[in-house]
Structure 1
Amino acid sequence: MNQVRRLTQSGECLENGRDSDLVIPIMGPTGSGKSSFIRALLNDLASPGPEVSNGINSCTSVVQHYFFEPKSKSLQAKINGRRVVLVDTPGFDDTNASDLEILRRIAVWLTASYGGQMKVAGIIYIYPIFPGRYTHNDRTNVKVFKKLCGNNGIKWVTFATSRWDQEEAIEALEGKGVFTTREGQLHSHWKDMLASGATSGRLAKTNSPRGKYSAHSLLEEVITKGLENKAKEDEFAGVMVALQEQIVKKKRNLPKTAAARELKKKLDVLMREYNSLGDNETVRQKTRAIVGQLDELKISLGGRIKLFLLGNS
C-alpha cells in the first residue's frame, strides 16, 4: 500500500466502502454529459449534486462519488440490497488541471478507496454523438482509457453516446442519418474494445423504440451485465482495473503504469506540435506545462529495464 499512500491526499477517496458495493466510474471528455447523466439518475437529490459543464469549461475537476438508490422494482431486485456507487471523474484536457493530475486523481480514488481492494461492476464512457469530429486528442484519450482499464476491464465498459434526444432537431438542419453515420464512425474508432467485449448504447432523456436509453435504463443494463461477473453462485466478483492492479498489487509508481506511459506518448506528440508553431508567449506557456508533466513521468533506466522485462501488463 506504499504506492497508494504516496499518491493520496486527504478527502480523495471513499471511506467505509463495502465489499458488496457496485462501483461504476463514469468517464469521458469534458462536456460529454457525465455530470448530467449522474444528475438525471439522482433526480437532483444529491447534496450537493454534480455541476453540469457548459461544454467548454469543465466542472468536475476532482473525483466525486454518489450513492444511487434505484426506484425501479426490477433493479432493486437485481442489486438485492447492495449499494450502487457512481463515480464522477474529470475528463482529460480539463480546463483546470493537467492530464497527469487528472490521471493521478483517478488513480487515487481507484487505489485508495476500499483499502485498495475495490472492484468495479462496470465502467461507462460517455461521448457526445454530435457535434464535431473525432480529434487526435479524442483518439489518444481513449488509448489512455484503454490502458487504464486493461484487458480484464475492457469487457465491462459501456460506451454511451450522449445527446440522442437532439437527433430530430439536428437532422432537420444537417440531413437525415447524420447521427447513425456518426455512430458508425465512433464504433470504428472503438472497434478493438468493442471486439473485446465492450458494449455501446444511445443515451437520451427518455427511452425510445429506436434503441435510445434513458440514464436509468442504461445504468440498469450496465449493472445487469456487471452482476453476471460472479466469483461463485450469487457472489459478485467485480473487476480490478489495470491502473489499480498495477499500483496496488504490482507496487508500481504512477509513471510506471501502462496508462501513464500512454499519456506520455500523447504529451510527446503535443510537445512536437507546439514546437512547430514558432515562438510566442502562449506557445511557451503550453510548452512549459507539458515539460512539467513529462518531467514527472520520467522513469529511470533501471525502471525502464524492469518494465521491459515485465512487459506492459
Structure 2
Amino acid sequence: MSSTENQNHNMILVMGVTGAGKSSFVNKLVENSVTVGDDLKSCTAKCLGVTTKIGETDVVVIDCPGFDDTSRSDTQILKEITELLSAQYLLGFKLKGILFLHRITDNRISGCANRTLELFKKIVGKEAFCNVVLVTTMWDKEDESIAYKREGQLRDEFWADMLREGSSATRYDGTKESAEGILSQILGKQSIVLKVQRELVDQRLALNQTLAGSFLEPIIHEQEAEFLARLKELEECLDTEKDKGKKLGYKQSKRRNLAAVQQRREDKDELESKPGVEVQSRLEKFQKGSLDVVTKTIQILAGIVTVTVGMITIVAGGP
C-alpha cells in the first residue's frame, strides 16, 4: 500500500484538546514555526507540519487541531486528521507515534476532555497504544503538590487502560530539551499503523463506520435533537411574546440554534464520507501530473490534504 521510496520519512503527531499547549510544544522544536496563543482558543486552524532533526534522525512533527474547539466541530476536526493520516499511510511516511497533551492545571476532567480522550483511543486502537506518550503540560503554572496529585489521578484512573497496554506518561517542562527528549522516546520505536488507518484505507470504510466516527455519530444526533427542541420552544415564545426587547433576544437565540442544527446536519454528511478513498484518488491524480514524486514527499502530502508545511498553506485538491 505504501510507497517504498519514502520509507525514511518519520512522522510524529501532537494531539489533544484545544489549549493543551500543542503549538507551544512544536514551537520549541522549530522556533517561530507556529502561532502560539495566550488563552484557550485554538491557534491551529489546520494541521501544521514542521521538519526537524532529533540527533541524527529527521522527523516531521504534525501539530493537529485540538478537539473541543469553539469554532469548529469535532467531526470537522476528525475528518481533517483522518485525511492527513490516510495520506501519511498511503505515501509511506513511517508513523512513529503520537503525543497526547493534557494541561496539569485542569482541576478536573470535564465531560468534553473525557470524550476527546475516548475519541483519541478509538482513532489509535489498542494495538498502537505502545506508541503513545501521554504528556502533561503547564507544570510551571500550578502548585507542585496539587500537580502531583492530579498526575496520580490521571495515571490511576483516566489513563490506566492505555498505560496497561504500553503507553507511557511524562511531563513537559516547557523547554526545547524536554520537547526533544519526549520525541526521542518515540523515535526509537517501530512504526505503527493506527486503527482508523486500517479502517479507512485498507477496508475503505466510511467515517461513520469506523470506531471513531461511530463514537461521534450518536452524540451528533443527540445534540441535533436538543437544538430542534429548543427551536420549538423559541417559536412558541416568539408567537406569544409582546415585549420587543425580549422578542429580539428570542430571534437572536433562534438564529444561533438554527446554525447549530445546520452544523450537526453537515457533520452527519461528513461522517458518511470516505476520507481514505478520497485521499487515494487525489494522490493518484497528483502523481500523474508530477515529474518528481520522490523528492517532493512533503509537498505531495500538502497537495492532497489541507495542511500547512512551514508557514505555507496548501489546500486539498492538487498541486
Same fold, TM-score > 0.5, yes or no: yes
TM-score, structure 1 normalization? 0.72
Higher mean C-alpha deviation, range 26-35 or range 179-188: 179-188
**Structure 2: stretches of 5+ with no match in the other structure:** 235-252, 274-319
Shift, 1:138, TM fit: 0.8
Deviation track 1:86-128 (CA, whole Å, cap 9, x = no partner) reads: 0110011223322111111111111123535443111100111
Shift, 1:285, TM fit: 3.0
Q: Are the structure 2 counterparts of residues 108 and 133 from structure 1 closer, same or farther at C-alpha, using a change threshold of 3 Å?
A: same
Q: What is the Cα-based RMSD across aligned positions, in Å?
A: 2.6
* Cα distance between partner residues in 2 of 1:253 and 1:186: 33
Q: Are the structure 2 counterparts of residues 283 and 62 from structure 1 closer, same or farther at C-alpha, using a change threshold of 3 Å?
A: same
Q: What SS does the corresponding residue of 2:96 show, helix, strand or coil?
A: coil
Q: What SS does the corresponding residue of 1:32 show, helix, strand or coil?
A: coil
**What percent identity do the matched residue pairs reach?**
28
Shift, 1:298, TM fit: 5.5
* Cα distance between partner residues in 2 of 1:16 and 1:269: 44
Equivalent position of 1:164 in the other structure: 139
Counterpart of 1:62 (choices 46, 54, 63) is 46
Counterpart of 1:130 (choices 99, 105, 108) is 105
Q: Are the structure 2 counterparts of residues 194 and 285 from structure 1 closer, same or farther at C-alpha, using a change threshold of 3 Å?
A: same
Structure having the higher Rg? 2
Asked whether 1:202 is paired with 2:171, we answer yes
Q: What SS does the corresponding residue of 1:239 show, helix, strand or coil?
A: coil
Counterpart of 1:253 (choices 196, 206, 209) is 206
* Cα distance between partner residues in 2 of 1:16 and 1:30: 35
The question of whether the paired residues in 2 share the 8 Å contact of 1:110 and 1:116 is answered with no
The question of whether the paired residues in 2 share the 8 Å contact of 1:120 and 1:240 is answered with yes
* Cα distance between partner residues in 2 of 1:141 and 1:23: 22
Asked whether 1:144 is paired with 2:97, we answer no
TM-score, structure 2 normalization? 0.71
Q: Are the structure 2 counterparts of residues 93 and 60 from structure 1 closer, same or farther at C-alpha, using a change threshold of 3 Å?
A: same
Counterpart of 1:181 (choices 129, 149, 165) is 149
* Cα distance between partner residues in 1 of 2:166 and 2:137: 20
Query: Could you say which structure has the higher helix fraction?
Result: 2
**What letter corresponds to residue 69 of structure 1 in structure 2?**
K
Q: What SS does the corresponding residue of 1:64 show, helix, strand or coil?
A: strand
Q: How does 1:68-147 map to 2 (within 5 A)?
A: 68-70=52-54, 75-76=55-56, 79=57, 83-113=58-88, 115-147=90-122
The question of whether the paired residues in 1 share the 8 Å contact of 2:48 and 2:63 is answered with yes
Shift, 1:50, TM fit: 1.2
The size of the alignment, in residue pairs, is 250
* Cα distance between partner residues in 2 of 1:276 and 1:127: 34
**What letter corresponds to residue 139 of structure 2 in structure 1?**
W
Equivalent position of 2:184 in the other structure: 220
Shift, 1:275, TM fit: 6.2
Counterpart of 1:193 (choices 124, 148, 162) is 162
**What letter corresponds to residue 193 of structure 1 in structure 2?**
M
Shift, 1:260, TM fit: 0.8
